[in-house]
Amino acid sequence: MSEGIIFDIREFCIHDGPGIRTTVFLKGCPLRCKWCHNPEGMSAEPQMINSAGSRRIVGEKYQASEVADRLNSQADILCANEGGVTFSGGEPLMQSRFVKDIIDLLDKKLHIVLDTSGCGTHSDFQMLAARVDMVYFDLKLIDRQAHVKYTGVDNDPILCNLRALSEFEKPFVIRIPLVPTVTDTDENLSAIAKTVRGLPGLVRVDLLPYNKAAGGKYASAGMVFDPGYDESAQLNLNIDCFKKEQVEVRVA
Amino acid sequence: MNELLIEKKHSVREREHKRFRQQAPPDVLAECERENSSGMRRAALLIKRQCEAESVVIEPGERIVFTRTIPCIPRIYADMDPVCLINNICADWQMALSQGLLGRREAAADARERYKDNPQASEFLDCAIESIDAVLALAARYAQAAEQMGRHDIAQMLRNVPANAPRSFHEALQSLKFMHSALWLAGHYHVGLGRFDQYMWTYLEADLKSGVLTESDAEDLLAEFFISLNKDTDVYYGVQRGDNGQSIMLGGVKRDGSDAVNPLTRMVLRVVRDVGMIDPKINLRINADTDLDLLCLATELTSKGLGFPQYANDDVVIPSLVAHGYDLEDARDYSVAACWEFIIPGKGMEIVNYETMRFPKIVDQAIRNGLAAGDTFDGILNRVKVGIDEAARRYADCYSKRQLPPAPFYSVLMDDCIENGRDLSSGVKYNNVGIHGACSASAADALAAVKKHVFDQHDIDPADLLAALDADYDGFEDIKQKLQNDSPKVGNNDDAADSMLTTLFDYFADACEKLGDHDGKWIMRPGTGSAMFYLYMADEVGATAEGRKKGEYFSANLAPAPNIRVHGPISVLQTYSKIDYKRVCNGGPITMELSDAVFRDQDSVRKVAMLVRTFAQLGCQQLQLNTLNYEKLMDAKAHPERHRDLIVRVWGWSGYFCELAPEYQEHVINRYKYAL
Ligand code: SF4
């Protein structure tokens, strides 16, 4: 039985999938998005957070069975409310074995969402995607160089996993964090629209407007927030790019 | 809302009506003393002189009238404040409206004849009749003034109500406004409005059917009525402004058990949402099968951040009241007093917040004395039990000696007081006494922490714990850490803590049941609310074993202790579903704060509505859901002028944030910091 590091198990995360859900936040992410508002999710290790005068360790070791037991104890309630469980992060693919073990122990009636940046090996991605009912797939930038510049990694494996996902015909939602002047350009949005249009399984695209409080948590995690873009620039909420490609789009 | 109503709301918010206020109330005490009047006569004289002293206010465009001009309630006893008068109950508005004050006068005259040989009853009935006449005379003065001003519509209405049964929804609202205001004028406070959608629907339904009113006309009238309830609240007595008990109960079942939800239920929810003021406080009765659509409508109100509706679960409350001796039909008719205490309109002279079981204080003494005496954990629990028993007995003894001052006008509006020739103060069908069960989560956490560290794991020595408590944890940081951060906490669906919580309420219920029913006259009802005791006790109790330092606030109502992180609302509901509510029926809600970010999604309203349904399905009793934006609160503290209309829930009531005392502001901010 595997164990892993989790930085939060939060109930009533209603924006993380259908119905009432509990979200498991797995610690560790291979990306370093400049706008990340969960900086405590980046490092794979437990770390000290200092906020408002109190110190606490973020990131705790759990056995897969412990997590499954806790989720299963609420399975009836989650199911009665059209919901279930979401695995998010950080990046769940970084602890794919652990996540797989949890899922295998979960009450079969629970609806499961994998919320991923898509950044992981093909086999890890396949292993988890096959086990969940729905995938929330974050797409940031189509341009490879820009992707490297703003997230620290190449987007090749991500796009590759996206294609694999559509071959599965697993329902999925594309989520785009709208970051002013970075991801919200017409160019990027229409490139994303063209990439996803017509993919089997695509439910819709969610645009997530920029959260100005993004930088708030960095100092308490002992990190520096250095966005490298103008946070206060007017957001380009261009949904026409998607309408043109007949992709269903929502602003969350 | 139309423009006129928006203007009216603004004017009420600016308290422009204050310009009508008189300098001082009539001097009633001198007259009472001169004549050495009885309590009954004093009460009747109070309402009479108050009605005479009122000056008529009819503002342009106003369609439901009555504005208070007397700035406060004059004394009628040299040694007692008028705020000791009967309060926090609810009249039988259905009966009062349908009979009209003349109908009540006839009933009183009848009874006067029957009881003519009974001096006590005769005096009461004479006083009841005098107070009815006083209110009718005031209505007649209003009618006359309206006539002179050319407001024939108002004149015509006031010639009919509150004397007779209303002929329309509009008249029903006017009649209610008049009688309700008269109770405040007579010195009563926390005057409840009861099951408004039930007693008002007859009038509205008839008008909608006959075409006298369209739905939108009705909404405008309703909006005006609700705005008018906010008018005189600055002269209403309460712990803080806003704490005035103008509560409405919606929905639920009828006396025969059938579904009571009607179009007015929904209309009230919509209109209150659009009006967006602190009164009336809305309560909604639901059950495990309540329609999700209705819950969505109610949730839209929650998302407005007014701090209501508060929900009560019929599946739990009705059987609990029955178990406490209420007839099933009456139990089905329950409403709430000012905050959350369950009462039966017209049939309850309950003192619902007579005293408070101070759980943290009792538990703290049990822990300190038990550790000092070398007790086992069971020994400590036994001390808790004894402490609760003793407090309950003490409260019961005090209560047995209490005497309520007579209330002839309130009696007119209650069931059977007139008919039986007995004033409300000598009792009606239900006369129970309610005791809050305050700060239960903090107290349970203290027990759970001691059990874990002193008795199970043996990693804190009893003597060290005592020393740490005495030192307010100064120099005992490691012990404090263990107790605070490495102990089971109420609100996480963890039996180690939750079993302490249920034990406290079991002891509390045992203690009350042991006291019996006092020859069928009254029982003591245990509750789960805290009112303001989470603040009051903070300095009264030193450091406590859950890792709290002296001066820090305790948990409020049914909510996890402040400053601890819980898994979330589902676990909180699971925790609180473990209490045996059949044995605790005085009310006291699970209190949860939602961040307004919850409502950014289109389907979030539906999901929050599902959470409310889950509350009912899990068998919890009462729920208060509040929405707020933490940053906005902080900004309001720094720049009150920018947030004059910011409304927050305080405990059983909502108020304007900027009008609260600083300690209440601070507590509200602290609560929202841990919002879900
Ligand atoms: S992928 Fe998500 S968690 Fe990882 S760095 Fe980017 S925003 Fe943060």
Q: What's the ipTM?
A: 0.91
| Mean per-residue pLDDT, A150-165 | 95
Q: Quote the pLDDT of residue A223.
A: 87
Residue A25 C-alpha, separation from nearest chain B C-alpha, in angstroms:
13
pLDDT in tens, A21-33: 999 999 999 999 9
| Mean per-residue pLDDT, B151-169 | 98
Pairing of strands B281-286, B247-251: parallel
For A11, the closest of B571, B600, B613 (CB atoms) is B571
Q: How many other C-beta atoms can be found within 10 angstroms of the C-beta atom of residue B383?
A: 20
| Mean per-residue pLDDT, B213-231 | 96
Length of chain A: 252
Q: Quote the pLDDT of residue B672.
A: 67
- For A16-133, strand residue ranges (E) read 21-26, 47-51, 54-58, 60-63, 84-89, 111-116
pLDDT in tens, A90-106: 999 999 999 999 999 99
* A3 and A64 Cβ atoms separated by less than 8 Å: yes
Residue B598 C-alpha, separation from nearest chain A C-alpha, in angstroms:
7
pLDDT in tens, B439-487: 999 999 999 999 999 999 999 999 999 999 999 999 999 999 999 999 9
Instruction: Kindly give the interhelix angle for B263-275 and B292-303, rounded to the nearest 10 degrees.
Output: 10
Band of the pLDDT at B619, cuts 50, 70, 90?
very high
Q: Has residue B158 got a pLDDT over 80? A: yes
Candidates B576, B607, B635: best to mutate against A (most CBs of A within 10 A) is B607
Q: How many other C-beta atoms can be found within 10 angstroms of the C-beta atom of residue A198?
A: 10
Q: Which among B345, B191, B414 has a CA at the least distance from the CA of B281?
A: B191
CA torsion sign for B611, B613, B615, B617 is negative
Q: What residues of A are in contact with residue B485 (Cβ under 8 Å)?
A: 56
DSSP-derived secondary structure for B595-633? EGGGGGSTTHHHHHHHHHHHHHHTT--EEEEEEE-HHHH
The CB of A36 under 6 Å from ligand 1? The reply is: yes
How far apart are alpha carbons B325 and B449 in whole angstroms? 37
Q: Quote the pLDDT of residue A211.
A: 78
Q: What residues of B are in contact with residue A11 (Cβ under 8 Å)?
A: 567-571, 676
How far apart are alpha carbons B342 and B332 in whole angstroms? 11
**Considering only CA atoms, which residue is closest to atom 7 of ligand 1?**
A36
For B601, the closest of A15, A80, A82 (CB atoms) is A15
In single-letter form, the type of residue at position B638 comes to A
Pairing of strands A47-51, A54-58: antiparallel
Could you give the maximum distance between any two Cα atoms of chain B, in Å? 84
**Considering only CA atoms, which residue is closest to atom 6 of ligand 1?**
A33
For A10, the closest of B568, B600, B607 (CB atoms) is B568
- Minimum mean pLDDT range among A2-11, B408-417, B490-499, B655-664: B655-664
Q: What residues of B are in contact with residue A22 (Cβ under 8 Å)?
A: 568, 570
Greater model confidence, A223 or B469: B469
Report which DSSP code applies to A111: E
How far apart are alpha carbons B521 and B302 in whole angstroms? 39
How far apart are alpha carbons B433 and A231 in whole angstroms? 59
B574 in contact with A at a CB cutoff of 8 Å? Answer: yes
Greater model confidence, B133 or A222: B133
**Considering only CA atoms, which residue is closest to atom 8 of ligand 1?**
A36
How far apart are alpha carbons B519 and B141 in whole angstroms? 47
Residue A145 C-alpha, separation from nearest chain B C-alpha, in angstroms:
33
Residue B301 C-alpha, separation from nearest chain A C-alpha, in angstroms:
19
- Taking CB atoms and an 8 Å limit, are A56 and B485 in contact across chains? yes
Q: Which among A113, A191, A87, A86 has a CA at the least distance from the CA of A147?
A: A191
Token pair of B651 as six digits: 């405990």
- Taking CB atoms and an 8 Å limit, are B604 and A11 in contact across chains? no
Band of the pLDDT at B240, cuts 50, 70, 90?
low
Residues 6+ positions from B347 with CB-CB distance below 8 Å: B92, B330, B333, B414, B415, B428, B429, B430
Q: Report the side by side order of strands in the sheet with B433-438.
A: B351-358, B433-438, B524-526
How far apart are alpha carbons B558 and A222 in whole angstroms? 36
How far apart are alpha carbons B72 and B95 in whole angstroms? 29
- Taking CB atoms and an 8 Å limit, are A22 and B570 in contact across chains? yes
Pairing of strands B654-656, B647-649: antiparallel
Band of the pLDDT at A52, cuts 50, 70, 90?
low
pTM metric for this prediction = 0.93
**Considering only CA atoms, which residue is closest to atom 3 of ligand 1?**
A90
Report which DSSP code applies to B80: B
Q: What residues of B are in contact with residue A74 (Cβ under 8 Å)?
A: 570-571, 574
- Taking CB atoms and an 8 Å limit, are A20 and B493 in contact across chains? no
How far apart are alpha carbons B570 and B608 in whole angstroms? 12
pLDDT in tens, B101-141: 999 999 999 999 999 999 999 999 999 999 999 999 999 99
Greater model confidence, B64 or B232: B64
Cα-only R_g, chain B: 25
- Minimum mean pLDDT range among A122-136, A186-200, B6-20: B6-20
Q: What residues of B are in contact with residue A14 (Cβ under 8 Å)?
A: 598, 601, 603-604, 607-608
Q: Quote the pLDDT of residue A46.
A: 92
Q: Has residue B82 got a pLDDT over 70? A: no
How far apart are alpha carbons B309 and B286 in whole angstroms? 11
Band of the pLDDT at A213, cuts 50, 70, 90?
low
The CB of A58 under 6 Å from ligand 1? The reply is: no
Q: Which among B419, B452, B577, B443 has a CA at the least distance from the CA of B508?
A: B443
For A14, the closest of B493, B567, B604 (CB atoms) is B604
B595 in contact with A at a CB cutoff of 8 Å? Answer: no
